[in-house]
Chain A
Amino acid sequence: MKSTLLIGLANLLRGIGRRMIERIWRLGAGARLFFLTIIYSGESFRRFHLTLREIYFTGVMSLLIIIVSAFFVGMVLGLQGYNTLQKYGSSEAIGVLVALSLVRELGPVVTALLFAGRAGTAITAEIGLMKTTEQLSAMEMMAVNPIARVVAPRFWAGVISMPILAALFSMVGVLGGYLVAVPLIGVDHGAFWSQMQASVDVREDIINGVIKSVVFGVACTMIALFEGFDAPPTAEGVSHATTRTVVISSLTVLALDFVLTSFMITV
């Protein structure tokens, strides 16, 4: 009786330890893949059409979902902001509210979350399936480095696409907020834009938003690439890897957002 309890306890501890070691191992392997990608990324610029192709699949194909969701996010911000601001008689400040929340936070973060769901999963599934069907091994047999040929172009495509998508998200969101605030509710057109321009700083708000989106682009793309590269070569393995891509990317983006914001906002 007593010995079974002890064995159970030992197994529990062993399980926790194994999971921890696996997590740390994955972190190290991911970091190694990241450095290898940087080292072998010369190929993706010499043969730039490889990267362009990936920009098409990760960036251009994500345009629709980004623009539509940005439009709705902006309109909701307009409605909710007006609802609260008019209680204090300052409904003209709605432009400031919409622009600052989009440019500083929602633009980069929501774009990164959508990007992880739309492009990150595609990258993981594609590379996982390449591994399952032994295409990556075949490349190695032909003395083609799969990191230079497959991973690096996708990495740079993600890093280039993310800031563009985030900037589009912010701009379309502001237009959505404008559409709700000015023609629909009747906030003054001039006050909407002039108050926005008075309080949105190009360096402190817009450039910081772009910096955030570049960091999120690196994180999301790298996680998706690593999960695909690391997936067990089975159908189940690829499906698990795809799920993990979304979960880990989302958590990383939200955690990184806090860290970056705390650097950027000087209290």
Chain B
Amino acid sequence: MNLLSFSVYITAYFGLFVSAFILLTYFGNRNKIRDPVPKRFPFVSIIIPVFNEENSIGQTIKSLLNINYPKNKFEIIVVDDGSTDKTYERIKKFESSRVRIFTKENGGCANTVNFGLRKAKGEVIARFDADTILDKNSLRKMVGYFEDKNTMAVTSSLNVLNHRGFMQRIQWAEYFMGIFLRKMFDLNKAIHIIPGPLSLYRAEYFAKHGGFDEDNITEDTEMAMRMQSYGYTIKNSIGAMVYTITPESFSQLNKQRIRWYTGFMRNSWDYNHLFNVRRKNDLSMLILPASYITILLTFLSLFVLFYYNLQFVYDWFIQLSVTGFDVSSLIANITLKNIMELVYDYATSQYVFFLVAGVLLMASFFVITKYYSGEKRGVFSAFVLFTLFYFFFFAFWWVLSIFYIITGKEIKWGKNSYVNGRMLKRHEHNT
């Protein structure tokens, strides 16, 4: 058996096993997927940390005031993290009995949310990001999960607003997969990231175990792993749809991914006891290890792909160099017949079954998500681009992140610097 066969088989088997497990989870729990109707409406304190969002914060507050939840059962707490634009002036206009406004010196996202926590009086704390749009019924759909006393957090379903464009479509497909996977993790008690945009927490948890880790570059992952370590339950509401805006530029996207992945590695390291198989739960035995195995297999597959196609590229280069870079004749040689032969060769390769199975499995996840989320926009083109290209970007971002971890390179975010996922120093305020 050569390297190519080995990588295909090991990836195929792993993919088949994990997919089978996920689908078994789905088919065994179909009655538990829809959100429970809340029996009562606990008082919710919605905390919005803001930093330089003068254009969108007004709209955000207005839409939150109009959500479908008893008006006397929630308050909005807006905390301005030392914005340097007109954010504070904008939010001050909303101050009322239902909307409390605060401002403080810049300290980062986690620090700002913790500040809000100290001011909050609700039984349930909601954290909401400023540049996010939520569905009117989201809160209503999420609170029902708190009936179970062991539930300490509820995550929402993260969707994408700006879905047009090549990279945007690929990210949209990724988030879409995430909606499905997060619900499946919920059913296996294995949620290990509580995404920022809209998340709910039981207030008494913070009183007992402290707030967010202010030195962490991904404090939402730390919070989730901490809760899992205590044995608490984290649920997901598949109906509570929130729409976030993905980075529009490639460099911003890279920076975001480096933050996410270095943070994930940092928290995995700190919470490595969760990876102990002897804990005998789905999180430790399957879900967490699987996330790292996926990364390793991605690297392996990419290596094999390059290795076996390098020869091809090398030959082309030799051909061009001796013919005086006569590209036209090279292209003339690529006849329709040649292309058909190539396609036929790939389509009848001994691995085609696994390729097709992989694509069909992913498609099934998409179909299930589309059904439960009520997504109206067409996802087909996003799915195609995702299937073809995501793998390369994923590997690229992980290579970058590992590079940052190994070299201890600084990551700047807002006014702070992070090294290996931990805050290095707070930059001094320019006053």
- Do A and B come from the same complex? no
